[in-house]
Amino acid sequence: MLHASVAEFIRAEPQALAKGPIAIVFIEDDAAVARTLDHCLTSGFRVVLAFSARGPEAAEEDNPNIHWIKWAKTAEAAMSSAVNAVIAAAPGQWIHYCYNAEFLMFPFCESRSVAEMIAFNVEERRDTVLTYVIDLYASDLHRHPDAVDLDGAFMDRSGYYALARTDRWNNTLDRQMDFFGGLRWRFEEHVPKPRRRIDRVSIFKAKKGLLLSEDHTFNDAEYNTYACPWHHNLTAAVCSFRTAKALKRNPGSTYAIDTFRWHNSVPFEWKSEQLMNLGLMEPGQWF
């Protein structure tokens, strides 16, 4: 069943968001949809909201933990409007949002659930988990013209950096930074400047009045910080084929890119240890 809106979904299933954590998946195309939804469930999310222009396929309709909501990706503020509607409907719940062909990885995710990670974060008095979007891409674009290869994905092992985030008056913002790297950095001439950042606070606790913007920042400054004032905090990664897909789909870049491989490409191992060893996420005080 495809619900017409978040409001209609809440009316039809008023208890669906009573217990989290909740995952929101924005389905932009057909790439790795089933794998993305399954990854959210196996990571420990109790509820998955699939925002999509299409309804569920027969196999997808069987899972009572996945709810389908109509979504037009070309609408103005399509992503933030949908997330903000869920925030308003589920205050107090922890929410994660991503797109199809994106996969949340967090420290020790092979043996621990996302609920355990959230419980630790609550003990740290944090209402957010900063995530870095790590680009994945197919090694052979002739065999995988959409740049998606789940079984043979590659990633960049270096080339990531951060700059201090400033306000409109060029004042440095406390504990906020803009992070860059991956395909958006290597092929930046094909990426609009506002979309080059790879930081995204994609795990957070919903509360009354909280709003997400299209640039992946919140109206609460503390939600945009990478750590609390007294020590480093746990961070996670969203391993994503989304940029690679866009670069190969865009007529302005597809013919300029024969391969995403370079001397710092390494096979993606689907293991949190690899990401921690590369410094792309850290456990903080969680051991």
Give per-residue pLDDT as tens, 187-198: 999 999 999 999
Give per-residue pLDDT as tens, 95-127: 999 999 999 999 999 999 999 999 999 999 999
3-state secondary structure of 258: coil
Cis peptide before 21 (omega within 30 of 0): yes
Beta bridge partners of 203: 96, 129
CA–CA–CA angle 145, 101, 225 (5° rounding) = 130
Q: What is the DSSP letter of 218?
A: B
Give per-residue pLDDT as tens, 44-91: 999 999 999 987 876 666 788 999 999 999 999 999 999 999 999 999
What CA–CA distance (Å, rounded) separates 261 from 235? 26
Kindly report the pTM of this predicted structure.
Answer: 0.96
